[in-house]
Structure 1
Amino acid sequence: MFPRYRMVGFCGLPGAAALGRLGTGDPAERADEIEKTARRFAAGREPLPVLELLAVVANSTPGPDGTYRSRTPAATIARFHRLARRRRAMLLLNVQPGRAAVLDEVKALREWLVHPDVGVALDPEWEMGPGQVPGDSFGRTDGHELTSVARYLSGLVEAHDLPEKPLVFHQVATSVVREQSALRPQPGVALVKSADGIGSPGLKRGTWRRLVRELPDGLHTGFKLFYEEDAQGGGRLMTPKEVLALRPQPEYVMYE
């Protein structure tokens, strides 16, 4: 994956505009927009458009199985996979597990993950412990759990002779990922830590510095931009030039 490509994408879910730009309007038009945006971030690399589809969504109610999550229908995932393949883009399946076990949710996506153009994005702020409800407080993961997901993906890559597969985890605060030092890179998996803070350019740079401090070996970086939230309170959206000036330089840029 890296340093050949720079991944640039939108996240979202059809019919849920509040969850990201990918969920608004015609998906083909969003794909056109992603391709144009990705070229602005290339900076000497091959731009790789990304469709980050919410495949597992955390809910504020328990649901019939008490997991506080719902799974996106297979037909929707198939539709976006076809779109990604037509555009030579990467489909990232985003997992907000609620109280479900994150590895179980990733394994449930196996039929898609055996394809060469499908990866995983984890949202651990939505990974709830016993008694926690999504939206009331931040959830969390740790380096051991992230390693277990990476190990599972590595096994798929080896068994199906796949190219390197991205595993992104979005981190909004230092508390969301514990024991980061326990994270172990796995063969065939590109690990990406994406800084998920909201605010003005100055606030986002501060969040970035905190989150990229003492990165483990083999961990790549990503950066998340919010069209609406970053512009609130007198703020503004950072430009590609400003994002590319961050160090280390983000290898995945995602817009919500």
Structure 2
Amino acid sequence: MRFSLAALSVLALSQLTGCSTQSKQDDSSKTGKIAVEAAAKSPEAARTTADSSETPTAAAAPTTRSGTASTGDPSLDSLTYAPTGALLPKYRIFAYYGNPHSKKMGALGKYPKEEMLRRLDEEIKNWQKADPATPIQPALHLVATSAQGLAGKDGGYRMRMSDKTIKKVLKWGNEHKAIVFLDIQRGHAPLGPEMAYMEKYLKLPFVHLGIDPEFSMVTGAKPGTKIGSYDAADVNQAVQFLSRIVKENNLPPKVLVVHRFTQGMIKNYKNIKLDPNVQIVMDMDGWGPPVLKKDSYHDYIQKEPVQYTGFKLFYENDFRKPGSRIMTPAEVLALDPKPMYIQYQ
């Protein structure tokens, strides 16, 4: 999600910037200015309206329970959906992105639960028609740690969604046979503790991880004022974290989604190390007309390959420029390499 984040405090939610940065922006000296100007023009400014009263604490894959360790939480252990084996490349993952507390953050929270899941299924049918040979694994992609414009008590510029919110989305996924991604926008907070907060959920076979470099503010800037970044070492840290969980809990490989839409968001990509327990998806998630999205995919995903690729589509922002439109499944699947992870916001 491009430059949509909330300045969350104990008493109120205030809006900081707009939503989305256009595809094909490089990290030259003018990138920050362009990005902030683009964000300021956006009418979609809410990152998430998480309830501050909460205390933080298609053709689906086979569903035989895998994994032997308890999460330590009976309410989580009761969630029995358990795809087996590696999802990629046997399945194409199709995800709705967002947060249930915000209608403006993405499809996941824009509609009531039943309507959202119905729309997800209808969209999956369109993609299945475009590529009948590849079964689709439904997914929900929750922003579980949200960057924010206020520092907070610990100076982290982020808010973790509560146990209540995360479990709600996990229950939706379990009921719908959809995998769930927990996405981290770390702000100024170290990545390690943010991942550790998600560990008990990641012990479930159907739960996976996303990390968003846009809101990894290594320069110390506030989230939303500049585009952040991750180094290969950070991606490797996430891979090692997930690999340990897989080995300790006898789980099928985890999927790690890494968002990207500029050159500078991922540094030293050649140093990213693959692990048989983790499947890495580099997800091109900038918005804009098809020609810009294709260029971004070529320059930042195809030319700097890691493992698997993803592509993000925006129900609103891809229409923001005159004459723009959302790409069709056939157009996206004509890309090389063919994306195996599709995300709609």
Q: TM-score range by the shorter chain?
A: over 0.9
Matched, 1:225 2:225: no
Contact persistence 1:56–1:70 (CA under 8 A): yes
Matched, 1:9 2:95: yes
- Given candidates 104, 111, 129, the residue that maps to 2:218 is 129
Q: Secondary structure at the match of 1:17?
A: coil
Q: Secondary structure at the match of 1:186?
A: coil
User: Amino acid of the residue matched to residue 20 of structure 1?
Assistant: G
Q: Deviations over 1:9-67 (max 9, x none)?
A: 11111221221111112123212221222232231111111100110000011011110
**Cα separation, 2, equivalents of 1:61 and 1:132:** 12
Contact persistence 2:280–2:308 (CA under 8 A): yes
Query: Over aligned residue pairs, what C-alpha RMSD do you find?
Result: 1.2
What is aligned with 1:52?
141
What is aligned with 2:116?
30
Matched, 1:71 2:157: no
**Cα separation, 2, equivalents of 1:87 and 1:18:** 23
**Cα separation, 2, equivalents of 1:246 and 1:189:** 24
- Given candidates 154, 157, 164, the residue that maps to 2:253 is 164
Q: Deviations over 1:112-164 (max 9, x none)?
A: 00000000011110011253100100010011110111111011111111111
Give the drift of 1:208. Answer: 0.7
Q: Secondary structure at the match of 2:311?
A: strand
Q: Secondary structure at the match of 1:147?
A: helix
Rg (Cα) greater in structure:
2
What is aligned with 2:106?
20
User: Amino acid of the residue matched to residue 133 of structure 1?
Assistant: K
Give the drift of 1:186. Answer: 1.3
Give the drift of 1:216. Answer: 4.1
Contact persistence 2:229–2:265 (CA under 8 A): yes
Q: Secondary structure at the match of 2:320?
A: helix
Q: Which has the higher helix share?
A: 1
**Cα separation, 1, equivalents of 2:208 and 2:232:** 19
Q: Secondary structure at the match of 2:208?
A: strand
User: Amino acid of the residue matched to residue 101 of structure 1?
Assistant: P
User: Amino acid of the residue matched to residue 224 of structure 1?
Assistant: K
Give the drift of 1:214. Answer: 3.6
- Given candidates 150, 170, 179, the residue that maps to 1:61 is 150
Contact persistence 1:39–1:47 (CA under 8 A): no
Give the drift of 1:3. Answer: 1.8
The TM-score with structure 1 as length reference comes to 0.96
Q: How many residue pairs end up in the alignment?
A: 255
Contact persistence 1:41–1:244 (CA under 8 A): no
Q: Secondary structure at the match of 1:18?
A: coil
Structure 2: state its 5+ residue gaps.
1-86
What is aligned with 2:4?
none
What is aligned with 2:230?
141
Q: Deviations over 1:203-243 (max 9, x none)?
A: 110111101234445x1000011111110112000011111
**Cα separation, 2, equivalents of 1:125 and 1:147:** 17
Return closer, same or farther for 1:216/1:231 CA change in 2, 3 Å cut-off.
closer
User: Amino acid of the residue matched to residue 3 of structure 1?
Assistant: P
Give aligned-pair identity as a percent.
Answer: 32
**Cα separation, 1, equivalents of 2:222 and 2:104:** 19
What is aligned with 1:113?
202
User: Amino acid of the residue matched to residue 248 of structure 2?
Assistant: A
Q: Secondary structure at the match of 2:182?
A: strand
Contact persistence 1:28–1:83 (CA under 8 A): no
Structure 1: state its 5+ residue gaps.
none
